Every structure is written in structure tokens, then in C-alpha cells.
Amino acid sequence: MQTQTLRRQAACHPLLVLLLALPLLAWAPVLYAHASLVASKPDSGTVLAQAPSTASLSFNETVSPLLMKLIRPDGSSKELEDVLTQDQRLELALPPMETEGTYGLSWRVISADGHPVGGTLTFSIGAPSSNLVDSTHSNPLRNGLIWLARLLGYVGLFTGIAWVVYRALAPASNNTSASQAHIAPRMLTLGAVALLLNLGLVGVDALDLPLSALFGTAAWQTAASTSMGLAVLLGWLALACAALSWKATHSASQKWLAALALILLGASLASSGHASTADPVWLSRPSVWLHVVALTLWIGSFLPLVYALQHAQDSRLLTLFSRWIPAVLLVLVLSGAALIYVQFDQLASLWESRYGQVLSAKLILVLLLLGLGAYNRYRLTQAVLQQRSDARQALRRVVRLEYVLAVLILAVAALWRFTPPPRALAQLVPPSVSSHIHTEAGMADLLYIPASTQHPAILTVSLYEPDFSPLKAQEVEVIFSNPQAGVESITFPAELTRQDQWEVSNVELPHLASWNIRIQVLISDFERIHLDSTLDLQAN
């Protein structure tokens, strides 16, 4: 009796370790969301009379500079090495710029979540060039390899570590052939190799280097200094614990090492990436940890179940899985809902943003997987436990299909590496600027919404009679001018969107502190009024 009690306590200790590890994630040092450029000097699109000697880039969090280049009007470029980091701002010393025209300041930094971020801002000296500088480019081969390395890492880590966990909890399921006994170690090896490749690719991507840079040292040194370096280290420790558990012969050692591997796997994925660094971090990081642990226990069980079902007398793993899966799925759903909450700014982002579209595709696959799981649980599991061979074979086929769906889910999730979350994109939206014009001829309310990553700059004009009734107009034009800066008048036709509101849907202006604005309103063939004001854009 005492021996059985001790065995139960030994089996429960790993679960207690899992629960105790959770608060440590909330205590860990705070990281912030995906880095975004929020301001620059000079502003992008500015026309300057004289060449600046310095430039500054301000971000929403502390970043580390990787590559800074000045692109000249003739297309040649010069790397900028004199970069000073001050809190969330980078100060750059610029070389002499004697040629008039449009210059590009190409920047590339690495953010707190371990992802490289880059862009190019343009400014002109004297007058803009006829062809604007655009140094942005994509590398489909490199991006494809990054995606594949992530997918292979997920498959190797989740499947290999889950197999070790279930082997420790259901030792009777070890009656497998020699070839099958090697699958879990091979999965662990796949995870270790994929983690190494992921680390190198982070450095290559961060420095915008060709894939041949994987054979050099610069990419590896850069990657190791980011949060991805910590994530890979924790991942390797998890794999090492799993390998030791697989080799251990004592039941208690197997359980402890398997639990530790699961803890470290969750910590690895919670230490880097969009979701783990979203604000508030006390919610996002533990949610990632719980989500990874639950996901591992769920989809990582499929291959062990397939091989355990080969043996008619071995049903311990199936019984254990059936008992645990409701709690595992509950944790998975709740942690996933928390991550959606911290990543999304509005419901429409589910279908309007690329991040939301990836999530929607993932949720569709998850629903299909849950449907197959429900069929297994309520139609086949009981029949298998009653030793019906036809049900056992049917369950094996469905579980194989579940594993295929699980791999597809991981393949979709790996696309998040290339899609900043909606809350990070929302930080790029500058505040709107409003103005009111009141004259004896009429009134107007102006609302200027600056350009963002999701839409161009928009100006809306609401027209009223002096008595505040709607002003009927046949045609409206908006004229921007700034004589002090030597900028000629720029005219935009407005379109009627409703009875008293007109809109200019694509306002393209050089970045100046303020603009004189004139609203030309055609009321009839014989009557036209002008409403003048100043639009102060200094806040942007």
C-alpha cells in the first residue's frame, strides 16, 4: 500500500513542476511588441533646401541596428557605420550629399521579439528626382527556407518530446518493433537540426545576406545575440532532457526528465516571437507557454497512438489520452483565446490583415481536427477498448489523418514569421488632425487621417451653411500650398460620399510641418465660395 502511494506521488511531481513553472514566465524580464518606426528626421518625403549632416530614427521599443545605408540619386549606396543608440532612437551621421535629387535611407534593425525589421525613407535635396529610390526587395528562396525550417522544427519538437512524455506515462506502450523505437530519437534529432538551421537563418535574414552566409560567422554571431539565441538554447536543453528520458530505465527518472523537457519546450517558444512579446507580457508569455504545452500533448500524441494501436493488448496510451484530452483542449482553447486578444486590435483584422487570414486558415484546420477527434472519442475509442480489431484499424487510419492535419496546421502557423500582428500594425497609425473653418459664406470641418500601412492619407470635408444646415455643393476641390517652403499649389478633387461630406481618398504630400489649405466649393454655375485654413501636421 505504501509503495503504491509513493508511486502516485512520483507520478504527480512532474505535474506540480509544470504548474510551478508557469508563474516564472510572468516574472521574466519584460519584452515589448514587434518594433515599428514611429518617427524620423528628416521625415520621409521631405524636400530640403540643404543636405542634413545627421538623421534619426525613432521606434516604439529599443532596437539594435543591423544595416544602415544611404542610397544616392544615381542608385549607388554607402553603408553608414557611425550609428549611436539612445533609448528607442538611432542617431546616424550622414556623409556629404552634394548632388540634388532624392536620397533613400535604408535601415534594418532587430526588435525585441527577435525578428528583423527594415524599411527605406526618402528625402530630397533641392528638388525630387524623377525616379524615386526604392531599395526594397524580397528573397523568396530565403523566406521559403525560413518557413521550412520552422515547420520541421515544430514537427520534430512537438512529436519527439510528446512521444517521450507518453512513453514515460504509459510504459506498457513500449512493445514496439526496433524500427518504430527509433522514430522518437529521429524526431528529436530533426528538432535539434532544425533549431540550428533556424538560428543561422535568423542571422542571414537580419543582415539581409545570401544563404551562403550560413558558412560564415557574422550571421551566427548576430543571431546568437537576439532573443532567438535564447529560444534555441532552451529548445536544445528540452531535447537533451527528452533524450535522457528516452534512455533512462528508472520510471521516476523518465517522468521527471520528460516533464522538464515539456517545461523547457514551452519556455523556448515563449522566449521569442510576436505572441510572447505582446503587451501585457504577464498574459501573453504564460499563454504561449500553456498553448505550446497543450499543443504538444495533443498533436504530439498522434504518432505514438498509431504505433500503440498495433498491439491489441496495449491500450494504456489510448486510455490515458482519452482521460487527459478534455483538459488539454480546454487549456489550448483558453490560451489561444488569450493570444488572440493580445494580438488583435479589432474584429475586422481577422479577415483584413494577413495575420488574421493565417489565423482563420489555422482555425478552420483546427475545427476539422476537432471533428475527427470527436469521432474517435465517441465512436471508436470504446470499441477499441473492447478489443474489436476492426475498430482498432479504423482508429489507426483516422489518427494518421489527424497527424496529417496537424502538420498542415503547423505549416500554416509557420507563416506567422512573415506577418506582423494587427496590434503592432496599429501602432504605425499616426493621430488624425482636425480643423474647423467658419466664415460668413459657409463652414467646413476638416479631418486629415495620415497614411498608414493599411491605407493612404485621407482628407474628409464636411460642409455647412452659416446656420449649420448641410451645404449643397456641385463640386469641391482642395488646394494645398506652402509658399514659405517653396512648394507650388497641389490640387485634389474631392468626391461626395454622403449628403454633406466630401473626401479626398489619396492625399500625397511632401512631409512639411503645416499646409495652407483652401476648399473651393462650387455651389451653382454662378456661385463659388472659398474656405481657407491652416492644417498643422507637426504632431505627425
Query: In what helix (H) or strand (E) does residue 218 lie, and over which residues does it extend?
Result: helix 218-224
Say whether pLDDT at 19 is over 50.
Answer: no
What is the model's pLDDT at position 273?
73
CB-based contact 324:197 (threshold 8 Å) = no
More confident residue, 414 or 175: 414
Please give the full DSSP string across 278-332, using - where no structure is assigned.
SSSHHHHHHHHHHHHHHHHHHHTTHHHHHHHTT-TT--HHHHHHHHHHHHHHHHH
pLDDT digits (tens, 9 = 90+) for 425-457: 555 545 567 778 888 888 888 888 777 655 678
More confident residue, 231 or 486: 231
Q: Mapping DSSP to helix (H, G, I), strand (E, B) and coil, where does residue 22 land?
A: helix
Least confident of 108-117, 147-156, 184-193, 314-323: 108-117
What is the model's pLDDT at position 134?
45
What is the model's pLDDT at position 237?
96
pLDDT, averaged across the chain: 80
What is the model's pLDDT at position 388?
80
Query: In what helix (H) or strand (E) does residue 461 lie, and over which residues does it extend?
Result: strand 458-464
Q: Mapping DSSP to helix (H, G, I), strand (E, B) and coil, where does residue 201 land?
A: helix
The count of C-alpha atoms lying within 13 angstroms of the C-alpha of 482, restricted to the half-sphere facing its C-beta, is 16
% residues pLDDT > 70 (the chain) = 82
What is the model's pLDDT at position 290?
94
Locus of grid cell 499563454: 287
What is the model's pLDDT at position 455?
64
Nearest of 403, 238, 388, 382 to residue 307 by alpha carbon: 403
Nearest of 121, 31, 135 to residue 77 by alpha carbon: 135
* Whole-number Å distance between alpha carbons of 111 and 115: 6
Q: Beta partners for 116?
A: 110
Please state at what angle helix 140-169 crosses helix 251-270, rounded to 10 degrees. 150
What is the model's pLDDT at position 298?
93
pLDDT digits (tens, 9 = 90+) for 118-128: 777 778 887 77
* Whole-number Å distance between alpha carbons of 440 and 533: 14
What is the model's pLDDT at position 6?
36
Locus of grid cell 528626382: 129
Q: What is the mean pLDDT of residues 87-107?
A: 84
Say whether pLDDT at 536 is over 60.
Answer: yes
Residue 345 phi/psi, 5° resolution?
-95, -25
pLDDT digits (tens, 9 = 90+) for 348-393: 777 777 888 888 999 999 999 999 988 888 888 888 887 787 888 8
Say whether pLDDT at 30 is over 70.
Answer: no
More confident residue, 334 or 136: 334
CB-based contact 358:417 (threshold 8 Å) = no
Characterise 55 by phi-psi region: left (phi > 0), alpha (psi -120 to 50), beta (else). Answer: beta
Q: Beta partners for 446?
A: 435, 461
pTM, entire model: 0.67
% residues pLDDT > 90 (the chain) = 24
* Whole-number Å distance between alpha carbons of 169 and 232: 27
pLDDT digits (tens, 9 = 90+) for 141-188: 888 899 999 999 999 999 999 999 988 887 754 444 455 668 889 999
Query: Looking at the chain, how many residues does it have?
Result: 540
Label the pairing between strands 46-48 and 116-125.
parallel
CB-based contact 181:163 (threshold 8 Å) = no
Nearest of 134, 133, 139, 70 to residue 107 by alpha carbon: 70
* Whole-number Å distance between alpha carbons of 107 and 456: 22
Residue 210: Cβ-neighbour burial (10 angstroms; 0-12, 13-18, 19+): exposed
pLDDT digits (tens, 9 = 90+) for 252-268: 899 999 999 999 999 99
Question: What does the block give as the cell for 165?
Answer: 512524455
pLDDT digits (tens, 9 = 90+) for 272-293: 876 666 677 788 889 999 999 9
* Whole-number Å distance between alpha carbons of 87 and 49: 30
Position 72 confidence tier, pLDDT thresholds 50, 70, 90 = confident
Residue 6 phi/psi, 5° resolution?
-65, -40
CB-based contact 298:326 (threshold 8 Å) = no
Say whether pLDDT at 190 is over 90.
Answer: yes
Say whether pLDDT at 1 is over 60.
Answer: no
Least confident of 35-44, 68-77, 316-325: 35-44
Position 42 confidence tier, pLDDT thresholds 50, 70, 90 = confident
CB-based contact 437:477 (threshold 8 Å) = no
Letter string b/e over residues 270-292, b meaning 16 or more CB atoms within 10 A of that residue's CB: bbbbbbbbbeebebbbbbbbbbb
What is the model's pLDDT at position 364?
94
Residue 302 phi/psi, 5° resolution?
-65, -50
